[in-house]
Amino acid sequence: MPARFRFDLQPLLESHERTEREQRETFERCRGALDECAEEHQRLAASRRRNANALAESSRSGIARDVRLYDEHLRRVDGSIECEQHRHHDLQAACERARDDLLAARRERRVIEGLKERRQRAFDAEERRRDELEIDEGNARRYDRLARERLARRASGTSVT
pLDDT in tens, 63-87: 777 788 878 888 998 999 999 999 9
Contact between 98 and 26 (Cβ < 8 Å):
yes
What average pLDDT does this structure show over 135-153?
A: 92
Q: What digits encode the pLDDT tens for the residues 14-51?
A: 999 999 999 999 999 999 999 999 999 999 999 889 88
Contact of 51 with 70, CB cutoff 8 Å? yes
pLDDT at 131: 92
pTM of the predicted model, to two decimals?
Answer: 0.70
